[in-house]
Structure formats: structure tokens, C-alpha cells
Structure 1
């Protein structure tokens, strides 16, 4: 019977059994088990892992584990530059865009508000989310750890917070998104880009008070919704400013 010694760091401990958190533990290896197989068997989605060290050497997920190996598993690093080390993914995504699962509609709306291309439909099945993530190279946002264990999903984020504003803060902080935000450039309803439009072109679609008080407008060419800088816009602006966006 072959065994290996494992140690998970920081928030990865949230996924494993309480008695195994923040300490070394020995685990029996499955036959020809890879690092990815054992990490996920212990409860951690591979999309949450940034770096794996086996006997002090940086390895990829495909590394087959041997009897007596010491395995250290790390999440995304916030303050330590690990760029000289081998990451478990071949490369980051060139463009940051998301697909959110059925439980994260509020988060999807807030990410769109911040300018991030975010697909969401509360009827999306897991298979469709997996397909979109692969075909369109999107980061999967979910509170379902089993979804993140799917083989073809390479980039994902397990969302721990329960309320949308806190979820937005968590995702912005974990993925370092503040500098990439382009607030109020996407439709909150359908995700399409917004464009500026003259007041004269939308005046018939505006409430009377808005006609009197506002001069700058944008619109979505898909759903034809019109946006202006009202009280709702100011509240969202304040939220984004707390995040550095």
C-alpha cells in the first residue's frame, strides 16, 4: 500500500475534512494516482490550486505520485511572486471573462456593472457552463465545488461569500481585477456593450423626471434599455469605489 504526506495551505483548507486542516496528514494513494486525482479526491477543486510542490519540486497536475512523496498544495498567491515557478496551468486567460452558475445572478449583475463580460442564465445546466467555459475560455464562478472538478474546466473560482456585494469584493480581490474594471460599459440585463446615445434619440423612452434632470445617456443595442446617472448609478458607483474600481 502506497501513501503520501499532504499539506494544504490557506483557504484550500476550507475544502478538506476538519481533522486534516492546516497540518500534514498521510493518505493512501490510488493506483497510478496523479496529483490532480488525489487533490480532488481530498475535496479540493483543481481550479482553486495555483501551485503544487512534490518533495519541494514544482510539478503539474499530471505528476504521478509515488510512495512516500510529500505534497504541498497552494492557492492563488496574494503577496508572494511565484512567477519563476511552474504553475499547474499552462497560461492565464488572455481576456478576463466569466460564466456564473444559477446561484450567482446578483454577482453576475455586479460584475457587468464593473464592466466584465459575464454570462449568466438561471437555466444554465452544468454541462452548458462547462461547454461555455471551454469554447469561450471563461472563468467559472460557482458555489458548487463539484462543478469546478470537471476535467475540461481549467479556470474557476469557488465563491465563498453569500451576498452579492461581498461576492463581488471576494472575486475582485482574489483575481486582482480592480485595475481591469471599466464601470458602466455593459448592460446589466443582457451583458452586451453599452454605447453613448444622444438625449434626442431616447427622449420618448424616458420618464418625465429623467428628461428634466439628466443629459447624458447610454443604451444597449440588444435589449434597448437606456441608462443614466441616477440614484441607482450613484449607489453602484459608491460600491465600486470601495473596491478600487
Structure 2
């Protein structure tokens, strides 16, 4: 590496973005006297959505700080729970996080989801327009400046993804109030109102129904209800334990 350098130490949680940080205490990074510390950190592979406090020689600095050769930088991870100011907490998920989207909706969390790949610019624009936190495993998407807010989804396992998001943001949980298909709000419905969606066995067996006010989809406690109930109960237990 040529030119002036700084030494950067990353929190262990951020080593997934900077594999060489696992092999040594610090990572050396070049400085040019112009680029901000935020730019340098992103150039090393860490989205700023995952960065918490930045310390230079033990003193906290903003991401706009322009590093000077020889400085020692400590990069901490985002503090939890993370607060997103200025808007009700809402999420936007990309095409790869469909299961996570459905589980968040099951818990009553306002969750928009793109089932097709509409591209990073369109996702970032929607995040900004609707003031939604963008959840993604795409580091490039999370680096887009127009995002309202964003967060990297660390795991590839839906159950771990869910617990991570709930622990990081602590959204209000209102189970059984949103459509898992479209995110619309559910309301109570009579059997007659949803009769057109019921097979004969369901019509004869169940009497309590809900229907989505947006797409009209009917819901009842069917064959998979116990599995869904377990997800809800675990989420509510996790929430109560953290309070």
C-alpha cells in the first residue's frame, strides 16, 4: 500500500464486511487528505448503515471527518435498539427477503416488499418517498445516498433474520393484523363475506375469519396456524424479555 495511511480497527460484528480484519488487530487504509472517513470506511467494504460511533485517537468524530496520516480509527457497530427518527417505523425489503417480509407482516409490522427485481435506484427511491427502512443483503444498495434509512440483513436463515431485525429496531408488534400477502390491514369478516374463497371442508369447519382490506384475501385458523402461532409467541416472548 502506497501513500499516507491510517489504522482502522473494526468491531467484531463488522468483520463480515472486512475479512482481513479477522486476521489482525487493525486494517491499514490509504488517505488522500480529501476523502471523508465515511468514504474510507465504505471503500473497505462496510456500509455506513452498519456503522455506529467513530473514534479517532480515542475521540468521537463524524463520518465527515477527513483523516490524517497516522491516525488510529475505531469503528463501532450501530447501537441497539436503533432508533429511526422522524417517521413511524416501516420497512422495505428487496426481492431476496420474501420469507422475512411475510413473518414481519404476520407480527403486524408495516412491511413493503418487492417480489420482482425492480433495481437498486427504484428501491432507494421508494425508501426515500415512503420513509421506509431498507432491509437488504446487498451492500451496494445500502450505500445509495438517497435511502431514507437502511440495515444489512446478516443471516441467510429467515428465523435468524427475523430475530435480528426485531432486536435491532424493536418495532411495535400487532400480530394477526396485516395481510402476509400484500401488507394490507385485516378486519373481521363473516363467513358469508369470504364464502367465495372457501372450500367445502373449510366452510363447514371454521367460523372465525378475517379479510384484507386491500386485496380481499381471507384468513382463518387453518392447518398451518400452530406453526404461525409459534413464531408469534416466540417474538412476543423475546420482546418481553428485553423490556
The aligned counterpart of 2:87 is 94
Structure 2 residue 155 is the aligned partner of structure 1 residue 144? no
Q: 1:206 pairs with 198, 223, 241, which one? A: 198
State which of 224, 227, 232 in structure 1 corresponds to 2:216. Answer: 224
Deviation at 1:21, TM superposition (A): 5.3
For structure 1, the residue ranges without an aligned partner over 5 or more in a row are 84-88
| 1:107 equivalent among 100, 104, 110 | 100
Q: 1:172: which partner in 2?
A: 166
Q: Evaluate the alpha carbon distance shift between residue 165 and residue 176 of structure 1 in structure 2; reply closer, same or farther with a 3 A threshold.
A: same
**Structure 2 gaps, min length 5:** none
In structure 2, the residue matched to 1:86 is: none
8 Å Cα contact 2:9/2:21 also seen in 1? no
- 1:42-191 paired onto structure 2 within 5 Å: 42-78=44-80, 92-121=85-114, 122-177=116-171, 180-191=172-183
Range with greater deviation from structure 2 (136-145 or 14-23): 14-23
**Are 1:27 and 2:20 an aligned pair?**
no
| SS class of match (1:243) | helix
What residue is the counterpart of 1:240 in the other structure? 232
CA distance in 2, matches of 1:181, 1:22: 41
Per the normalisation by structure 1, the TM-score is: 0.86
2-side partners of 1:36 and 1:203: how far apart?
A: 57
**What SS does structure 2 have at the residue aligned with 1:52?**
strand
Contact 1:9–1:22 (CA<8 Å) still a contact in 2? no
Spell out structure 1 runs of 4+ moving beyond 6 A: none
Please report the TM-score for the alignment, with normalisation by the length of structure 2: 0.87
Superposed displacement of residue 40, structure 1: 0.2
Structure 2: distance between partners of 1:115 and 1:22: 43
Partner of 1:40: 42
